[in-house]
Amino acid sequence: MMGLRKIEEPAAFGNVGVLMGGASGEREISLKGGNAVLSALQSRDVNAVGVDVGDRPMEALGGQHFDRMFIVVHGRGGEDGMLQGLLDSLKIPYTGSGLLGSALAMDKLKTKLCWRGMEIPTPPWWVLKDDDDIGRCIEKLGFPVIVKPALEGSSLGMSKAGTVDELMDAWSQASGFGCEVFAEAWIEGKEYTVGILDDTALPVIGLKTPREFYDFEAKYCSTTTEYICPCGLDRRAEQDVQTIALRSAHVLGVEGWCRADLLIDSSGKPWFIEVNTVPGMTDHSLVPMAARAAGMDFEELVWRILETSVECESSKTV
């Protein structure tokens, strides 16, 4: 990640397309966040229009001229490098990570392999491909575990398993998402998240939910989820978490902005879970919340994210 080129005048951005929607299970969240981003840009006189990419992004662009794109498309088809590759081929700069960083971060298994190579702590796991893997998984990880589809965001398809039958059911459910499935050792601890903007870690947010974990319901629907900022960690511990969060993003080639999620166990050890390269931008979303804690309102945050497309346009196009 590089230092931002500061933009003073909205006209310097040119014509901006706010890409939203898509065709993944996170479509409605994307539309909500995309429209919030669009309103914020227009409130600061940026010439921005919304584009629902659906499942045919090339057609959605419709021959329109754009100088850059603000990507708010989550999940497969938007956060996995596919959209980034299309924009690279069209030589249109965009916010956030390029093709490689997006693809690596979207794939939770590839993420964990990269992290293991760089000694970034992440919970042990076992890939579930056939019935034999159930026994091997139990032998390696024990119970409980959390079962995940490797290519989904917003905790879609994830479930906790504490018995063989629950593990089989969780595997069956996750397999319905059409990608690799793995079980991850359950870490008993507190959940945290770290927003990152242009190589700077924002204040850490603690998450507390009465549900089993911070799932889709807790993220977008529940009124009982608590967001704790200041997060409750002492200053040194928070700085350590922010430092590792930055490394976790760098290892994957993530650029511009992102959010790293982690757990901290009872001994104080952090365990990193995933990096989101297109974090949510709704009223429940965590990066806007962390930005507010850093003294940055939503409009300023959106402006600064858009600035990342200016700094990185030469390195992302082909």
Is there a catalytic annotation at residue 307? no
Active-site position among 255, 274, 307, 311: 274
Per DSSP, the three-state class of 84 is helix
Ramachandran angles phi, psi of 60, nearest 5°: -65, -30
Active-site position among 280, 304, 307, 311: 280
Identify each DSSP E strand in the chain by its residue range: 16-20, 48-52, 68-71, 125-128, 145-149, 159-161, 181-185, 189-197, 200-201, 205-208, 226-228, 257-265, 270-276
Is there a catalytic annotation at residue 131? no
Side chain identity at residue 313, one-letter code: E
Active-site position among 107, 215, 261, 311: 261
Is there a catalytic annotation at residue 98? no
Is there a catalytic annotation at residue 259? yes
Is there a catalytic annotation at residue 220? yes
Active-site position among 154, 155, 248, 285: 154
Q: Quote the CA–CA distance of 177 and 98 in Å, as a whole number.
A: 24
Is there a catalytic annotation at residue 154? yes
Active-site position among 27, 68, 76, 259: 259
Sole residue written with tokens 């650029």? 255
185 forms beta bridges with: 145
Active-site position among 17, 26, 107, 309: 26
Is there a catalytic annotation at residue 28? no
Per DSSP, the three-state class of 137 is helix
Counting beta carbons within 10 angstroms of the beta carbon of residue 182, is it exposed (0 to 12), middle (13 to 18) or buried (19 or more)? buried
Active-site position among 97, 248, 276, 309: 276
CA distances (Å), origin 274, targets 49, 102, 104, 299, 306:
31, 12, 10, 26, 23
Side chain identity at residue 213, one-letter code: F
Q: Quote the CA–CA distance of 301 and 293 in Å, as a whole number.
A: 12
Residues 177 and 195: beta-carbon distance below 8 Å: no
Neighbours of 153 (CB within 10 A): 27
Active-site position among 220, 253, 256, 285: 220
Closest CA to 167 of 205, 131, 208, 207: 131
Is there a catalytic annotation at residue 191? no
The residues annotated as belonging to the active site are 26, 154, 220, 259, 261, 274, 276, 280
